[in-house]
Structure 1
Amino acid sequence: MARQDGIAGRRAAIALLDRVLSDGEALSQIAEVPDSPLTALAPADRATALRLAVTVLRHLDQADRALSPFLRKTPPATVLNALRLGTVELGVDRAAPHGVVNSIVSILRADPHLAGLAGMANAVLRRVSEGREGFAALPVQKMPQWLRQPLVHAWGRPAVAAMEAVQSQPAPLDLTAKPGMVPQIDGLEPLPTGSFRLASAGQVSALPGYAEGDWWVQDAAAALAMRLLDPQAGERVLDLCAAPGGKTLQAAAMGASVTALDISGPRLRRLQDNLARTGLSAGVVTADALHWTPPEPFAAILLDAPCSASGTLRRHPDLPFVKDGSDLPALADLQARLLDRALGFLAPGGRLVFCTCSVLPAEGEAQITAALARHPGLRVERPDLPGVDPDWISPEGGLRLRPDHWAERGGMDGFYIALLRLAD
């Protein structure tokens, strides 16, 4: 629960909501720009602001349903976002009504353009607090139609409803450890696939083993891609679109000779920081994979292609509000071109893992089906891995991971992974 005196964190959370919902900016982008509402905040207030904004975005539909009976007309966007924040704190965080209401009213009164609506906000939030016991019974937030419709077509309404139920809850924290290491962290749960999970982590950098580089944060679904590639000690491996580097770290920890390539220099600096912290090594190349040529072929390649990121809504609930699906055709075309290009980097008999953090078949199953038609002699190898349910294997031979898998454990990211092998 946010501190009841956390005016700075709440004010910044409202500003973040304004920029996501009115300006279409992703939270990850806002955090990096000079005029970010987070820039001047103390670390505790920054953490509060981000947590509150994410929680509101995860429960926006429910907040609006709870507010609707008490609003005669829609207030200005900033005031509405302040009311949404207060409503979610009351209904989800179960925060003390007095502190929440007073903080929201104080924030509005401090703004000359909004001060005249502070009394209305006070009255509305007090009414909301009286009925907050019913908040949990409100329907969970649905995915936007551009995303929901193809998923219903692919897996049916019950499966999509199960995904939405998982996405309505905070995501646990998953860790990948160096081979043979078990992080000594209280409450750590070993997962069947080899990852580790914490239901609630707090400050990640303060956890045992972080500073020593014993482990790194990586969703359990994402960790399966490099495990399926299975790099061998000394093997030349290319990690395409590598930043921020979780898969590069995996391959390096397995003893492979890794080249990590990404088009983004700033994102690669994060990868280099992670390499330094973990004491692992990899060659780092800033380049566009569509125009880069390796000096010699690779035995194994992992291509984590740019995609809609639609599989990460449980961790990034802002995405439905900043995307509308209009970029999907261009993304699918880029994925196909990157896949064809990457196959040309392989030595005869080499293997390639194609993956996307997407729940859309157009960015997974359909890509592999089309690639097999374009490349005679290319084949898919069955993704038999420890902890993988055979029901997760899709008809063309890839691994379809959905947010509702392991729902009782907190779910996982939506991911598609396929292991391809070139003819000798």
Structure 2
Amino acid sequence: MVLSDTRPGGPRRRLQKSQDRRDSGDLKPGLAARQAASRLLSAVTESRASLDGLLDPAGGNPAFTGLGDQDRLLVRAILLSALRHLQVIDAFIDSLVDNPLPEGAKALRQVLRVGAAQILYLDVPDRAAVDLAVTQADSDPRNRRFAGLVNALLRRMAREKDQLLPEIMAVTPDFPDWFESRLRTSYGKDAGAILSIMSEPPAIDLTVKSDADGWAAQLGGVVLPTGSVRIARPDGPVSGLAGYDDGAWWVQDAAASLPAQMFSKLEGLEIADLCAAPGGKTAQLALAGARVTACDQSATRLERLRGNLERLGFDVATQLTRAQDLIAPEGFDGVLLDAPCSSTGTVRRHPDIPYTKGPEDVMRLARVQRDLLDHAAGLVRPGGELVFSNCSLDPEEGEEMVAGFLADHPAWKIRPVDAARWPGLEGAITAQGEIRTHPAMLGNDDPRLAGLDGFYAVVLIRR
């Protein structure tokens, strides 16, 4: 029989080569990008891997770093869209099947999520998104038997998205229960606006060395109360904009620029920047005339900081060390501790956070912050200032943690900040004189130009 022909090039060999090509997934342009997106989405949602780490150009996941430039851009866009709208995407998928997807079909769900993100939120032709999802399913032995389901479900999604998407969005929470419940408990009537804007991609804020008005005019942006210049996202890389190569500015969210502005004086003073990478706050301190010692425990991140400061033309001393291991017998005139945290204030730019963090992380990181704050206090000379900050929205990592520090250290107190320094951000100043920003502040008719990261910051001094 023909199928038993074992001669080189015979039917059996041709069938095997066809099977090998199908299993390799190397059949269509764009397929490797979708396979990478599914793999990385699985790492985030199932293994709680950091999206930043997976997409790091140097040390990221090989499925991503091995792609060409255009495919990497596509993978990033798919993942950001999928994670920003994951609750809605899953609800849409579930609404289109008569029976729930098999409990163990996790790889199938990732294929459907990647296809849905393109159909619902990206400028990808529906036919291409469906066709590549079907090919992806067919090339994976785990999903091959579901290829027909993938085809039927995504084709129907493409046909009915205009009608069904608004209905599903109206009844589907934007984020996981743990995240929404903590936010509503902490922010009450503001929680709805915060949750709503968190699903929108953020604008780009620039900290400029000088002439904010001039740079705003040149780049088509606006000047914010923080002195930052806000611009719409460019079509190409930010590094292609005027002023980048000259080191005239650096990318830094407006809220992230506040802690370094909270010192009463910086010119000529010795300042330690703990947990300093990637260096935006370090650059601010140096620009203001401080003699800065920047510390970070990660060699990779510290090297990135040095590269950023070199582009900007700042000469800063750096130390590879954990903040809690820094020893300075003479102390510093000021210390900036921008502590590691749950990063819940940065969900607009890091939409993986609600899926990689949980309440247990908030509690754990609050303890880490307290240990760091205790150590940082010992580095401050008499009469000096300690600025503590982080990008968490959770009071357990901010107001409550600092209140515990002050209760245990009666020699320290809060130096209230002057709200007049940031006209338009008066609502970010607490009754105790701390700064508490959240994403629904700095409104704009265009949500892509509105808001800022959630940040907590406070100035502490000895009584």
TM-score of the pair, normalised by structure 1: 0.93
- The structure with the larger Rg is 2
Moved more, 310-319 or 387-396: 387-396
Q: Unaligned stretches of 5+ in structure 1?
A: none
Query: Which secondary structure does the structure 2 equivalent of 1:391 belong to?
Result: helix
Please give the secondary structure, in 1, of the residue aligned with 2:257: helix
- What is the rounded CA distance, in whole Å, between the counterparts of 1:34 and 1:56 in structure 2? 19
> Are 2:255 and 2:452, in contact at CA under 8 Å, matched by a contact in 1?
yes
Deviations along 1:6-44, whole A, 9 cap, x unmatched? Answer: 333322211111111122211122234464321211111
In the TM superposition, what whole-angstrom CA distance separates every residue of 1:154-193 from its partner, at most 9, and x where no partner exists?
221x322211111111111111111345437533222121
The answer as to whether partners of 2:53 and 2:60 remain within 8 angstroms in 1 is no
Report how far residue 5 of structure 1 moved: 5.7
Select 1:77's aligned residue among 64, 85, 106.
106
Contact conserved, 1:237 with 1:259, CA < 8 A, in 2? Answer: yes
- The one-letter code of the counterpart of 1:166 is I
2:456 is paired with a residue of what secondary structure? Answer: strand
Three-state SS of the structure 2 residue aligned to 1:327 is helix
Aligned with residue 61 of structure 1, among 87, 110, 126: 87
User: What SS does the aligned partner of 2:324 have?
Assistant: coil
Q: Distance in 2 between matches of 1:56 and 1:230?
A: 43
Of 165, 185, 202, the residue aligned with 1:135 is 165
Amino acid at match of 2:226: T
Verify the 8 A CA contact 1:261 1:285 in the aligned structure 2.
yes
Report the AA paired with residue 98 of structure 1. R
Residue type at the aligned position of 1:147: F
Q: CA deviation at 1:368?
A: 2.2
**Residue number in structure 1 paired with 2:140:** 111
Residue 329 of structure 1 and its aligned partner are, at CA, apart by 2.7
What corresponds to 2:461 in structure 1? 421
2:395 aligned partner: 361
Q: How has the CA–CA distance of structure 1 residues 101 and 150 changed in structure 2, closer, same or farther, with 3 Å as cutoff?
A: closer
User: Which deviates the most, 5-14 or 82-91?
Assistant: 5-14
Q: How does 1:369-380 map to 2 (within 5 A)?
A: 369-380=403-414
Q: Deviations over 1:242-273 (max 9, x none)?
A: 11111001111122110001122211111011
Q: Does 1:193 align with 2:223?
A: no
2:174–2:199 CA contact under 8 A, matched in 1: no
User: 411-420 or 94-103, which moves further after superposition?
Assistant: 94-103
SS at match of 2:35: helix
Distance, in Å, in 2 between the alignment partners of 1:328 and 1:117 is 39
Report how far residue 94 of structure 1 moved.
5.1
Establish whether residue 97 from structure 1 lines up as the match of residue 137 from structure 2.
Answer: no
Between the aligned partners of 1:322 and 1:154, the Cα distance in structure 2 is: 20
| Structure 1 residue aligned with 2:336 | 302
Cα deviation, residue 419, structure 1:
1.3
Name the structure 2 match of 1:218: 252
Q: Is the 8 A contact 2:225 2:425 kept in 1?
A: no
Equivalent in the alignment of 1:228: 262
Letter paired with 1:62: V
Please give the residue correspondences for 1:234-313 in structure 2 after superposition, counting only pairs within 5 Å: 234-313=268-347
Q: Which runs of 5+ in 2 are unaligned?
A: 1-27
Tell me which moved more, 232-241 or 321-330: 321-330
Deviation sequence 1:191-227 (CA, Å, 0-9, x none): 1211111221331222221122111111111001111
Contact 1:231–1:237 at 8 Å: present in 2 too? no
Most deviating of 404-413 and 177-186: 177-186
Aligned: 1:144 with 2:176: yes
- Write the letter of the residue equivalent to 2:327: T
In terms of mean alpha carbon deviation, does 305-314 or 363-372 score higher?
363-372
Kindly provide the CA deviation profile for residues 81-113 of structure 1, in whole angstroms up to 9, marking residues without a partner as x.
Answer: 221222222222253221221121222223343
Conserved 8 A contact 1:231-1:300: no
Residue among 196, 202, 209 paired with 1:165? 196
Aligned-residue Cα RMSD (Å) equals 2.1
Aligned partners of 2:416 and 2:432 also within 8 Å? no
The residue identity in structure 1 corresponding to 2:194 is M
**TM-score (normalizing by structure 2):** 0.85
- In 2, distance between residues paired with 1:331 and 1:223? 22
Residues 1:403 and 2:460 aligned together: no
- Equivalent-residue separation in structure 1 for 2:461 and 2:426 (angstroms): 20
Aligned length: 419
Alignment partners' CA distance in 2, 1:293 and 1:196: 37
Query: Is the 2:87–2:176 Cα contact (8 Å) retained in structure 1?
Result: no
Q: Partners of 2:30 and 2:60 in 1: how far apart?
A: 23
Corresponding residue of 2:69: 43
Does 2:33 match 1:9?
yes
- Same amino acid, percent of matched pairs: 36
Task: Judge which range, 144-153 or 252-261, deviates more.
Answer: 144-153
